[in-house]
Amino acid sequence: MAVETLSVILLVALFAFLATGLWVGFALMAVAWIAMTVATSVPPGTVFATKVWGALNIWDLTALPMFLWMGEILFRSNLSRNMFAGLAPLTRRLPGGLLHVNILGCALFAAVSGSSAATTATIGRMSLPELEKRGYDTRMAIGTLAGSGTFGFLIPPSIILIVYGAATEQSIARLFIAGIVPGLMLAALFAGYTAIWAMMHRERMPQADSAHDEAGKLRAFMGLAPTIGLIIAVIGSIYAGLASPTEAAVIGVIGALILASASGEFGRTAFTESLLRATRTSCMIAFILAGAAFLTVAMGFTGVPRSLAGWIGEQGFSPYVLIAALVIFFIILGCFLDGISIVVLTVSVILPMVQAAGIDTIWFGIFLVLVVEMSQITPPVGFNLFVLQSVTGRNIFEIARYAAPFFALMVLATALLTAFPEIALWLPRTMMAR
């Protein structure tokens, strides 16, 4: 069957399955099953079992439930409330106020977690209820979170950069370092946009907290201490060589348990609830990962992404046009496949054309992460959207709408990165010069 016909059939099928309200994991499975049955001679059932087993049997994934659990513990104790109370006076004069906590929180958390879903879920669980309580605009609260959640991939450690580095024989250490400045730039763009938005929409911002006296300020500020201590413990355990980034998540759980118990508001019921809720959220994400893995292998067998990428290669584009074409290609593919799958499926075809065009491979890794991050917030298949639907109960299309400005900022960041490649390349060159 021609690639075009197959692509159309699969797209229609995906939208149809999702529209019936089929759970996302099942919908992805169904599309994969159709693709394999229609276009290959491989037995779909055996492939399903082999691939789902392989896709979930991954050590690095264990950090996901641990971080989710940490978030649930903090949410159920008074720690996240105290943290916001402590931050409120600090951000009082800043246009956008506590909305910046989403951006800063995600950037900090991303320095520990390699996954965007874990970043979005953990920060979202703590911040969204607090922001809502304080009268912040829900749309903006969700939008900043959806956007900032994607830092998980760009700021090291990063699962995507590890996958890309392994597939292309690049130094993972250099890729990690190359992601730092672009990650900070993106955070600055988000914060700048949030500040401007807040100044232009004063009516949708809450009244500033009444000014505290100095003692009140100090008390509120002291409320920040436990959370800051926890962040230092988690990051510190990695840099002291006591824990790998995957293991550090457990330091987070233990730290959160200690702090929550010390606060006195965290009993056995809260413990059980936190664990069960983390179990369910982790399962929700894992089910979609399983469906996505089956779809990825089906796509590998049908060769659709390969031939689409190959088509771009045949056009003989100049470097800038090639980059632009790839951005569009990845955005379209990113609507339907998850980011890591796209990298895995296409890098073998795309990297040679990128190298032929004289584009630096470290730079291209960062570029890839940026465009793949966009796929996290584009419907219908976007992990941050699923996570946020599960946290807020709002549907993915609504969340995607709130995230749209941040999507646009990511496109802008990609343009900046293309115009000024040094944004990615300067730091690794400087730090790694021997």
Taking a C-beta distance cutoff of 8 angstroms, is the pair 337, 291 a contact?
no
| Interface characters, 351-370, with another protein (x: CB under 8 A) | xx------------------
Q: List the x/- string, 283-312, binding to another protein by CB under 8 A.
A: xx-xxx-x------x--xx-x---------
Determine if 176 is a binding residue for another protein (CB under 8 A).
yes
Give the integer Cα–Cα distance in Å for 340 and 353: 20
Alpha carbons 290 and 284: distance in angstroms, whole number: 10
By CB under 5 A, name the one of 168, 282, 375, 384 that touches Na ion. 375
| Stretch of 170-178, 249-257, 368-376, 416-424 contacting Na ion, by CB under 5 A | 368-376
* Residues 335-354, interacting with another protein (CB under 8 A): 344-345, 347-348, 351-352
Candidates 341, 378, 389, 414: give the one binding Na ion (CB under 5 A): 378
Q: How many CB atoms lie within 10 A of CB 59?
A: 9
How many residues of this chain interact with another protein, rule: CB under 8 A?
101
Neighbours of 389 (CB within 10 A): 18
Q: Of 200-208, 231-239, 313-321, 410-418, which segment contacts another protein by CB under 8 A?
A: 231-239
Burial label, 369 (beta-carbon count in 10 A; 0-12, 13-18, 19+): buried
Count of other CB atoms within 10 angstroms of residue 4: 11
Give the residue, chosen from 1, 8, 56, 208, that forms a contact with another protein under the rule CB under 8 A.
56
DSSP annotation string for 99-121: HHHHHHHHHHHHTT-S-HHHHHH
Residue 254 CB, nearest approach to another protein (Å): 6
Site for Na ion in 146-205 (CB under 5 A): 152, 155, 158
Q: What is the DSSP string of 221-252?
A: HHTTHHHHHHHHHHHHHHHTTSS-HHHHHHHH
Residue of 71, 105, 223, 380 interacting with another protein (CB under 8 A): 380
Closest CA to 370 of 317, 334, 345: 334
Residue spans of alpha helices (H) in 264-318: 268-302, 304-314
What residues contact residue 35 under an 8 Å CB cut-off, 6+ apart? 6, 10, 295, 298, 299, 301, 302, 304
Contacts of 366 (CB under 8 A, 6+ apart): 154, 175, 178, 179, 182, 417, 424
Per CB under 8 A, contacts with another protein among 186-225 are: none
Tell me the closest approach of the beta carbon of residue 84 to another protein, in angstroms: 18
Q: Return the range that interacts with another protein (CB under 8 A); candidates 140-148, 217-225, 279-287, 329-337.
A: 279-287
User: What minimum distance in Å lies between the beta carbon of 145 and another protein?
Assistant: 16
26 binds, among another protein, Na ion, none (CB under 5 to 8 A by kind): another protein
Residue 377 in contact with another protein, rule: CB under 8 A = no
13 makes contact with another protein (CB under 8 A): no
Q: How far apart are CA 327 and CA 313, in angstroms?
A: 14
Binding flag, residue 382, Na ion (CB under 5 A): yes
How far CA 338 is from CA of 35, 342, 378, in Å, comes to 17, 7, 10
Amino acid at 169: E
User: Would you say 70 or 198 has its CB closer to another protein?
Assistant: 70
Measured from the CB atom, the residue of 185 and 257 that comes closer to Na ion is 185
In the block, residue with structure tokens 């060159």: 429
Helix (H) or strand (E) holding 180: helix 172-200
Q: Out of 51, 76, 100, 125, which residue is the one contacting another protein (CB under 8 A)?
A: 51
> Counting contacts by CB under 8 A, is residue 270 touching another protein?
no
Stretch in the footprint of another protein (CB under 8 A) among 87-95, 143-151, 245-253, 414-422: 245-253
- Residue sitting closest to Na ion (CB): 382
Which residues form the interface with Na ion (CB under 5 A)? 110, 114, 152, 155, 158, 334-335, 375, 378, 381-382
